[in-house]
């Protein structure tokens, strides 16, 4: 059974802070992780942000080729075929083009996927990455890099960071088209009051949350 709108049993202290990873923070994070031998987690975080994915359900479970998810590479474009929260079992495409020109190769999810494609694995795109381990490293990095509220950093910081950036760049329509979010919640919210860009982006992400913030 799927329950929507349920309140998560997360520490209220943590939920107060809506952390969002900026491009610069994500670069620092990836470097910090690579220096500690956590290259695959670093790559997973970058790809998660680049495609604005849900970390646990969409990225950790992503497979090169299966009935529930697959990856297609065409030149400088990569398409993930995945099941999303609002599509149920229906597999839908999420496509992106190489972002090296816009944000540099360090943050390009496409080039990472192409690199990883050369390597053999057990079918998963990120075979050694798991959710709890990733979140521990994220919080550890947040503390080491002296980010605010290190314990509050969770997997949604990447979706939220990308949403804020897209919103700042091209407004709500751009944000929704890039992120694959549904618009009803944000539109209502926007109509009711004047809000900041960050709030507009966050409202969609929070409505789309399907993960514990641990």
Q: Which residues of this chain interact with Zn ion, rule CB under 5 A?
A: 98, 100, 108, 110-111
Q: How far is the CB of 50 from Zn ion (least distance, A)?
A: 9
Question: Which C-beta is closer to Zn ion: that of 76 or that of 199?
Answer: 76
Question: Which C-beta is closer to Zn ion: that of 19 or that of 48?
Answer: 48
Q: How far is the CB of 110 from Zn ion (least distance, A)?
A: 5
Q: How far is the CB of 77 from Zn ion (least distance, A)?
A: 11
Question: Which C-beta is closer to Zn ion: that of 18 or that of 49?
Answer: 49
Question: Which C-beta is closer to Zn ion: that of 110 or that of 213?
Answer: 110
Among 121, 125, 119, CA closest to 71:
125
Q: How far is the CB of 104 from Zn ion (least distance, A)?
A: 9
Q: How far is the CB of 90 from Zn ion (least distance, A)?
A: 29
Nearest residue to Zn ion, scored by beta-carbon proximity: 108
Q: In what order do the strands lie in the sheet with 91-97?
A: 70-74, 77-83, 91-97
Dig out the tokens for 38 from the structure.
């956590």
| Contacts of residue 210, Cβ cutoff 8 Å, sequence gap at least 6 | 54, 56, 57, 85
Question: Which C-beta is closer to Zn ion: that of 115 or that of 177?
Answer: 115
Among 60, 10, 44, 58, CA closest to 214:
10
Among 146, 130, 158, 126, CA closest to 48:
158
Q: How far is the CB of 73 from Zn ion (least distance, A)?
A: 12
Question: Which C-beta is closer to Zn ion: that of 100 or that of 214?
Answer: 100
């Amino acid at each position: 059974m799927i329950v929507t709108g349920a309140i998560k049993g997360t520490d209220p202290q943590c939920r107060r802070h809506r952390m969002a990873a900026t491009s610069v923070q994500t670069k620092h994070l990836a470097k910090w992780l690579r220096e500690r031998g956590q290259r695959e987690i670093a790559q997973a975080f970058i790809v998660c942000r680049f495609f604005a994915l849900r970390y646990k359900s969409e990225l950790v479970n992503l497979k090169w080729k299966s009935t529930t998810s697959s990856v297609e590479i065409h030149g400088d474009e990569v398409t993930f075929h995945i099941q999303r929260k609002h599509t149920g079992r229906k597999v839908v495409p999420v496509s992106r083009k190489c972002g090296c020109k816009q944000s540099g190769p360090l943050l390009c999810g496409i080039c990472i996927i192409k690199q990883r494609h050369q390597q053999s694995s057990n079918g998963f795109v990120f075979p050694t990455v798991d959710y709890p381990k990733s979140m521990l490293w994220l919080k550890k990095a947040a503390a080491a890099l002296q980010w605010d509220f290190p314990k509050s950093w969770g997997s949604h910081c990447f979706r939220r960071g990308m949403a804020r950036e897209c919103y700042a760049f091209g407004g709500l329509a751009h944000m929704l088209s890039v992120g694959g979010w549904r618009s009803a919640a944000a539109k209502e919210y926007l109509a009711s009051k004047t809000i900041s860009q960050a709030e507009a982006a966050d409202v969609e992400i929070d409505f789309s949350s399907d993960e514990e913030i641990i």
